[in-house]
Amino acid sequence: MHDLLVVGAGPYGLSIASHATAAGLDVRVLGRPMQTWREHMPRGMFLTSEPWASDLSDPEGRWRLDVFCAFRGVEVRHAEPIPLELFAEYGTWFARNAVPLLEQRTVTRVAPRTGGFEAVTEDGGTLTARTVALAVGALPFAEIPAPLRGLPPALVSHSSDHASLDRFRDRDVTVVGGGQSALETAALLAEQGTRVRVLAVADRLRWNEVPPPRERPWWRSARSPHSGLGTGWRNAFYAERPDLYRRLPERTRARTASRALGPAGAWWLRERVEHRVEILPGRRVVAAEEVPGGLRLTTAVRRGGGGVLETGHVIAATGFRATVDRLRLLSPELRALLAAGADGAPEVGLEFESSYPGLFLAGPVTAAGFGPAMRFVHGAAFTAGTLVRGVRRRLRAGPAGWRIPAGRTGGAPHAVRH
């Protein structure tokens, strides 16, 4: 039986595995490296975070994004977005160098068993572990507005369903949402010849400002410091002190996590959208029905009134809602034992342990507990170090005979793999 099973091989899963390996734990990692980035985001997208805030985490900081880019002969600069494809390649490179025991198999079920957990894989195999770190990203929590649910996938999809938008060339598409995913999807559609419109609830779109230079007078930095989530003291608090955020009252945490860093487009995307994509602000879909050639949408305007429009397909870029009931990977009996907060998200302790002993959670599912940083790559460093400490604590508290390795101070156990 392994000490730790990490389920998921995205930025959080890989970072946790790297820290756990360095701590001397017997770790197994299951998942396809950077699968979400490769298979659920259209080509041509860019990261919204700065290059220096997009590192996966290993204990010694050896396998940073800038190191990978130097190997590739690519220069990374502040305020210049990183292509999605480059970041996915970086994550795979990180996995080769910092995560020695990665099995590219998909876990289909995690269930409790005596002394720990059992994981079943897509090929029918099983693994057992004393503790589990569930780092499944955002995909299980995709949110589609109620009026659009139940319609055929040929007519309605979520923005995370697409690795390519080619199927929509020369068609009519309506994108629902007003955030980065909606706006970038709409820009890519327009640029390939799709007739596209954006239907947003907000009365007007929000755009992030061009970030100030990294090097600037001290008094400007003191007034509005840089952080992994943008400039300003509030963002710096979210980015750098998830531990303090976790100690806020539950209602404050949940409210802040749902509202902070709300829907907005990146500054570099603005010129690709304005005057090129039809924007229908202040509207929400209240009904949808299938008609020949597509869908008829009934919309309500925030200030009264409404309208009807017909479209060939709807892409719901409406984010994710992390709730216990959507953790379908967990067996029903295990899911039923998880405590949830007022927003339905699973509760986690100070070291990311769920209410079920030995089951740890990571990534967007923990945003209600540790803040909006958990929805971004930047949160992986805090999560990895803190969660692995929690795993070691749980192993020490386990049945007699569980051996806790002393850990080691070295980094990855092998040479650089290009």
pLDDT for the residue 253:
86
Element (H, E) at 252: helix 250-259
Q: Do 388 and 278 belong together in one domain?
A: no
Q: Do 96 and 189 belong together in one domain?
A: no
Q: Do 26 and 150 belong together in one domain?
A: no
Which residue pairs, CB below 8 angstroms and at least 24 apart, start in 274-277? 276/187, 276/190, 277/183, 277/186, 277/187, 277/190, 277/196, 277/197, 277/198
Q: Do 34 and 150 belong together in one domain?
A: no
Determine, yes or no, domain membership for 38: yes
pLDDT for the residue 414:
43
Last residue of a domain, one of 316, 351, 384: 316
pLDDT for the residue 89:
96
Determine, yes or no, domain membership for 311: yes
DSSP string, 100-144: S-EE---EEEEEEETTEEEEEETTS-EEEEEEEEE---SGGGB--
Last residue of a domain, one of 284, 316, 348: 316
Q: Report CA 301 to chain centroid distance, whole Å.
A: 31
pLDDT for the residue 346:
94
Element (H, E) at 176: strand 172-176
What is the CATH number for 154?
Answer: 3.50.50.60
CB 391 within 8 A of CB 360: yes
Q: Do 73 and 187 belong together in one domain?
A: no
Determine, yes or no, domain membership for 295: yes
pLDDT in tens, the chain (418 residues): 999 999 999 999 999 999 999 999 999 999 999 999 999 999 999 998 888 899 999 999 999 999 999 999 998 888 889 999 999 999 999 999 999 889 999 999 999 999 999 999 999 999 999 999 999 999 999 999 999 999 999 999 999 999 999 999 999 999 999 999 999 999 999 999 999 999 999 999 999 988 888 888 888 888 888 888 888 899 899 999 999 999 999 888 878 877 887 889 999 999 999 999 999 999 999 999 999 999 999 999 877 777 899 999 999 999 999 999 999 999 999 999 999 988 899 999 999 999 999 999 999 999 999 999 999 999 999 999 999 999 999 999 876 445 555 554 333 344 455 5
Q: Do 74 and 177 belong together in one domain?
A: no
Which residues form the domain of 93? 2-141+320-396
Q: Do 72 and 179 belong together in one domain?
A: no
Determine, yes or no, domain membership for 216: no
Where are the extended beta strands (E) located within 18-95?
A: 27-30
Determine, yes or no, domain membership for 195: yes
The two structure tokens encoding residue 310:
């017909």
Determine, yes or no, domain membership for 85: yes
Last residue of a domain, one of 297, 316, 335: 316
Q: Do 173 and 65 belong together in one domain?
A: no
Determine, yes or no, domain membership for 279: yes
pLDDT for the residue 399:
65
Q: Do 196 and 289 belong together in one domain?
A: yes
Q: Give the Cα separation of 348 and 355 in Å (integer).
A: 7
Q: Do 290 and 376 belong together in one domain?
A: no
Q: Report the domain count for the chain.
A: 2
Element (H, E) at 85: helix 84-98
Q: What is the pTM of this model?
A: 0.92
Classify 257 in phi/psi space as left (phi over 0), alpha (psi -120 to 50) or beta: alpha
* CB within 8 Å of 124: residues ≥ 6 apart: none
Q: Do 137 and 11 belong together in one domain?
A: yes
Q: What is the CA radius of gyration of the chain?
A: 22
pLDDT for the residue 165:
96
Determine, yes or no, domain membership for 159: yes
Q: Give the Cα separation of 68 and 188 in Å (integer).
A: 27
pLDDT for the residue 400:
45
pLDDT for the residue 406:
54
Q: Report CA 250 to chain centroid distance, whole Å.
A: 22
CB 22 within 8 A of CB 45: no
Q: Do 33 and 136 belong together in one domain?
A: yes
